[in-house]
Structure 1
Amino acid sequence: MSEKKIKNIFMDGAISPAFIADSIAQHSTKTAIGGHSIFMGQVRRDEINGKFVAAIDYTTYQEVALAKMHEIREAIFEKYPLSCMHVHHSLGKIKAGEICLFVFTSSAHRKPAIDACNELVERIKAELPIWGKEIFEDESHQWKENI
């Protein structure tokens, strides 16, 4: 692993619109950036077997997940000419309609930012040990499948 510091991507609770807006606003002084790509994952109120999802309770093995995220981060920076990359993932109970994943990539041009963002989201979903327990309106629950 490189000598770069492992960044903590995890946040307790939902990712607020104010946090997202502030993250975007902080880039207005970075005038070499020409394109940003943003992905926001939101908890859906899915209907499953006649019951509606009220929330998802996210959990992880942080040490393992952060080490893997560091590897993914380094690989994405090697592959794409990015100016910066930000990843934030919620832990705990996130209600339907709230944001649980915020991925933000920036580059001099739009295509690398978009391609990096897309690959980053796919790798996070496929490779990070993060689990979600769907909590239904009647308080019953089941483990969520990543799709």
Structure 2
Amino acid sequence: MNREPKNIFIRGAIPAAKISESVQKHATQTEIGAHAIFLGQVRADEKKEGTVTAIEYSAYEDMAIEKAHEIREAAFAKYPVTCMHIYHSLGQVNVGEICFFVFTSAPHRREAIDACNEIVERIKAELPVWGCELLGKDKHVWKKNT
């Protein structure tokens, strides 16, 4: 199937309504037997410079969208998933808010879980997305993905 690249970016935090709507939209697809969901949330990490209060995400958007499309297509080719959604925040996301959402659906749980895990790992490793951790008044540290 020849799918067009989708914009994966959302300005600010990913709202809970977006997550629940994504799940609800699949209720009529009776060939689906499992969903796997990964939600990345901003932590209040302690740094030597202070406590993280938010992360400011930036990206080379065009390149990131194209790379996410490649990752998505590779997952569709490798796993029998019926549906897949990827969303990542841009801009400021406060501690406790969702910044990364991957949702896969498949006839069986193992395929949904394996596809979701692989997509998360590849997105974190391969996309030109950067996070600057905000540490209160006028302090920041560039985040390193682990």
Q: TM-score range by the shorter chain?
A: over 0.9
Query: What secondary structure, in the 3-state scheme, does the structure 2 residue paired with 1:82 have?
Result: coil
Amino acid aligned to 1:117: C
What is the identity percentage for the equivalent residue pairs of Structure 1 and Structure 2?
56
Distance (Å, rounded) in 1 between the aligned partners of 2:135 and 2:119: 29
- The aligned counterpart of 2:76 is 77
CA RMSD in angstroms, aligned pairs only: 1.1
Amino acid aligned to 1:11: I
Following superposition, the deviation at residue 18 of structure 1 comes to 1.1
Amino acid aligned to 1:142: V
- The aligned counterpart of 2:137 is 138
TM-score by length of structure 2 reads 0.97
Deviations 1:33-70 (A, max 9, x none): 00000000000000011611000000001111111111
Query: How many pairs are equivalent?
Result: 146
- The aligned counterpart of 2:17 is 18
Deviations 1:70-107 (A, max 9, x none): 11111000000000000010000000000000000000
- The aligned counterpart of 2:115 is 116
Q: Taking structure 1 as reference, are residues 3 and 106 closer, same or farther at Cα in structure 2, changes over 3 Å only?
A: closer
- The aligned counterpart of 2:45 is 46
Distance (Å, rounded) in 2 between the aligned partners of 1:137 and 1:61: 26
Following superposition, the deviation at residue 137 of structure 1 comes to 2.1
- The aligned counterpart of 2:85 is 86
Amino acid aligned to 1:43: V
Amino acid aligned to 1:75: A
TM-score by length of structure 1 reads 0.96
Distance (Å, rounded) in 2 between the aligned partners of 1:65 and 1:50: 30
Runs of 4+ in structure 1 over 3 Å off: none
- The aligned counterpart of 2:5 is 6
What are structure 1's unaligned runs of at least 5 residues? none
Distance (Å, rounded) in 1 between the aligned partners of 2:4 and 2:18: 22
What are structure 2's unaligned runs of at least 5 residues? none
